[in-house]
Amino acid sequence: MKIIIIIFLSFYVFSHNFLFSKTQNYLSVKGIVKDQNTKKTLSFANISIKEKYIGTLTNETNEKGKFNFKFLKKYKNDTLCISYIGYSTLEKSINEKKYQIFYLKKTDSQLLPITIIDKKITAKEIINKAIKKIPDNYYTDEHLMETYFISEENLYNNGKLSENMKTEAAIKIYTPKYKKRHRIYGQKTDEIFKILGIKKERKTYKKDTFLLMQKNILKKMIFRNIFRYKDRGKYYDFLNKRKNKHYKFTIKNK
């Protein structure tokens, strides 16, 4: 019995020291993001450190515009970046000592000139023109992307909702150069992805099972890139000029 107690206490001290030292390596910036003119809060603004991947999942404001951004101490002299669609990106020196209010300025959007042609165009012509423009409108070079992924799943028991599981993950995806045709063998994709960090609210899954489940979800997400995988199966035939002749396209709300 004494041996068990000693081992338990040793493990507790080691775990406590490890967690404490890990916490000591991090700093945090707390604040709220608002519109410079209206003073309204901006929900889900992106928080990052300039030109660096931090490896944290708390990298955006919540629905009230507030955030608590944690980062490694070694980045304390870097620049904090706050971005939001339709606003200029704000860059400021990091100050972790006080709660701050960050104001973003709206960008001036300029409308591009539109050419109006007095000619009737069919729905199929629109589809085929869009297919032809894929190489121009789609990013075709190989690239490496670091992104943020959110998944929410409802679990049912006898037809009734028993549990809700929300998952947040930081992932890195390598995408090779775009080709006219991407052949798919089973569930294999062109992209190579790596899970950098996971935060989950449900703790009953075993780690290995959970990670496997997440990889399957990521594969499904990648397969939804219908422009890249338009030759994958019959569901994407409408994006193939040779096959969409069997489809009937119509224009609604004309």
Strands 79-83 and 46-49: antiparallel
Domain boundary, last residue among 55, 71, 104: 104
Summarize the confidence of residues 15-19 as an average pLDDT.
Answer: 36
Note whether residue 117 is domain-resident.
no
Give the structural domain span for 48: 23-104
Please give the Cα distance from 179 to 244 (Å, whole number). 20
What Å distances lie between residue 118 and 35, 112, 129, CA to CA? 42, 19, 18
Please give the Cα distance from 140 to 127 (Å, whole number). 20
107 versus 159: which is more confidently predicted?
107
252 versus 150: which is more confidently predicted?
252
Count up the domains in the chain and report the number: 2
Nearest CA among 90, 76, 117, 116 for reference residue 33: 90
Note whether residue 14 is domain-resident.
no
Confidence (pLDDT) at 90: 92
Same domain, 231 and 142: yes
Sheet containing 79-83: order of strands: 46-49, 79-83, 90-93
What Å distances lie between residue 247 and 40, 139, 197, 229, 230, CA to CA? 47, 27, 43, 19, 15
Same domain, 148 and 91: no
Please state whether the predicted TM-score (pTM) of the whole model is above 0.75: no
Same domain, 95 and 138: no
Same domain, 147 and 205: yes
Summarize the confidence of residues 13-35 as an average pLDDT.
Answer: 62
Confidence of residue 112 (pLDDT cuts 50, 70, 90): low
Same domain, 78 and 131: no
Nearest CA among 236, 241, 238, 234 for reference residue 249: 238
Note whether residue 196 is domain-resident.
yes
Strand partners, 157: 160
Note whether residue 77 is domain-resident.
yes
Same domain, 167 and 72: no
Q: What separation, in Å, do the N-terminal and C-terminal C-alpha atoms of the chain show?
A: 82
Same domain, 225 and 141: yes
- Distant-in-sequence, close-in-space partners of 195: CB < 8 Å, separation ≥ 6: 169, 170, 171, 211, 214, 215, 218
> Are residues 219 and 189 in contact, defined by beta-carbon separation less than 8 angstroms?
yes
Structure confidence by residue, pLDDT tens digits, 220-247: 666 666 677 666 656 566 777 777 777 7
Note whether residue 173 is domain-resident.
yes
Confidence of residue 20 (pLDDT cuts 50, 70, 90): very low
Confidence (pLDDT) at 91: 92
Confidence (pLDDT) at 204: 45
Confidence of residue 40 (pLDDT cuts 50, 70, 90): very high
Confidence of residue 9 (pLDDT cuts 50, 70, 90): very low
Same domain, 100 and 128: no
Confidence (pLDDT) at 93: 87
Note whether residue 187 is domain-resident.
yes
Note whether residue 116 is domain-resident.
no
User: Does residue 14 register a pLDDT over 70?
Assistant: no
Please give the Cα distance from 149 to 212 (Å, whole number). 15
106, HSE (Cβ side, Cα atoms, 13 Å):
10
What Å distances lie between residue 119 and 18, 115, 116, 122, CA to CA? 71, 12, 9, 10
> Are residues 167 and 154 in contact, defined by beta-carbon separation less than 8 angstroms?
no
- For residue 220, how many other CB atoms are within 10 A of its CB? 11
15 versus 115: which is more confidently predicted?
115
Confidence of residue 22 (pLDDT cuts 50, 70, 90): very low
Note whether residue 95 is domain-resident.
yes
Nearest CA among 187, 192, 196 for reference residue 220: 187
In angstroms and rounded to an integer, the radius of gyration of the C-alpha atoms of the chain is 25
| CATH code where residue 69 lies | 2.60.40.1120
User: Does residue 46 register a pLDDT over 90?
Assistant: no
